[in-house]
Structure 1
Amino acid sequence: MDTYDDSGVLDHQRLREQPMTTPADDPIAQQRFAFRMKPQFEHTTDGWRAWYPGSDWSVTAPSAEEARQKLVAEVNRRREAGEDPKAFQEAVYRKHLQEPVPGVYAMDNELYRYVARETGYDQDALQEVFEESERRRALGESFTKADYLAWMNRKN
């Protein structure tokens, strides 16, 4: 399931069970991760450019806020035209699991569902957990629901 918030942040999680033929070594196919993809912005001499990591298209506008709005509008335009504006995502997610891609975050899918339910899909809370998950992944550590609960107990 994909969801966009008003700022153009994309969350992608899978809720279906996998068929028995799913390769055991493929974390994307296994649907072990939920992903978040944040738009990227670059200030240029002409204004601002905005894009999603791994996409082959971008938008430009005089301000970062206008670029964000145009990015969301472009996704909607492409969708309404019958295109899949997120066709590039799976390749970006696979790359991200091998080496960090700026603007892409991954966390354990069970943890994502738990935090989303517990916080009422609070985007700031989810972002904090995505960032902690990424920090731990970079260190070669896991960040499961049990790890999260222990982390929260230490924070409080």
Structure 2
Amino acid sequence: MTSTSPEAAMPAPPQPNDQPHRYAVHMEPQLQQTGQAWTAAYPGAQWSVSAPSRAQALHRLGEEVTRRQNDGEDVFAYTTSILQRHLREPIPGVYAVDNELYRELIHAPEAERQRVLDEAERRRRVGLTYTRDDYLNEGRGTHPH
């Protein structure tokens, strides 16, 4: 039997214990300008870098990640805890994306990848899914592999 009540059409809100194992975590660097300096950091990281320009700050962030990894540090070891926090309350720069969809986006152009990340987050926040099949059914998954 099909219900036509407005409540039946409303998606369930995201749950605090949403299934973290079904998501890939994508994190975008967060930038802040203070006076003449730019600071760049990944969401939830306990460290940051600064530089005179936005571009230099992003470059230094990449260098710092590489340096830390070369020193044996697991730079993104905290992603599980940041994902769990993000599923409870959105964190700027963090995206929880269906694992299969995320793998599909590896070779997608940057603009397409960002569009899909934004759409996946938008849907997840209102209790909807956005899977690889959803993406492919939209005819968007046509980038060369």
Where on the TM-score scale, by shorter chain, does this alignment land: which range?
0.7 to 0.9
Percent of counterpart pairs with the same letter? 44
Q: 2:124 aligns with which of 137, 140, 143?
A: 137
- 1:82 aligns with 72
Poorly superposed stretches of 4+, deviation over 3 Å: 149-153
Gaps in structure 2 of 5+ consecutive residues: 1-16, 141-145
More displaced 10-residue stretch of structure 1: 144-153 or 105-114:
144-153
Q: Whole-Å Cα distance in 1 between the matches of residues 126 and 137 of structure 2?
A: 18
Instruction: Report the TM-score, using the length of structure 1 for normalisation.
Output: 0.71
Greater length-normalized contact order (CA 8 Å, ≥ 6 residues apart):
2
* Residues 1:48 and 2:38 aligned together: yes
Instruction: Report the TM-score, using the length of structure 2 for normalisation.
Output: 0.76
Q: Whole-Å Cα distance in 2 between the matches of residues 149 and 45 of structure 1?
A: 45
- 2:29 aligns with 39
Across the aligned residues of Structure 1 and Structure 2, the Cα RMSD in angstroms comes to: 1.9
* Residues 1:147 and 2:131 aligned together: no
List aligned pairs for 1:91-110, cutoff 5 A: 91-110=81-100
* Alpha-carbon distance, 1:131 to partner: 0.7
Name the larger-Rg structure.
2
Q: Whole-Å Cα distance in 2 between the matches of residues 151 and 139 of structure 1?
A: 20
SS in 1 for 2:39: strand
Deviations 1:22-43 (A, max 9, x none): xxx7733x3x112210000000
* Alpha-carbon distance, 1:87 to partner: 2.1
Q: Whole-Å Cα distance in 2 between the matches of residues 72 and 40 of structure 1?
A: 13
* Alpha-carbon distance, 1:150 to partner: 4.0
Deviations 1:93-135 (A, max 9, x none): 111112111001121112222344xxx3433222211110111
More displaced 10-residue stretch of structure 1: 120-129 or 41-50:
120-129
1:152–1:132 CA distance, 2 compared to 1 (3 A): farther
1:97–1:47 CA distance, 2 compared to 1 (3 A): same
* Alpha-carbon distance, 1:147 to partner: 2.6
Mapped contact 2:18–2:87 kept (Cα < 8 A): no
* Residues 1:58 and 2:51 aligned together: no
- 2:143 aligns with none
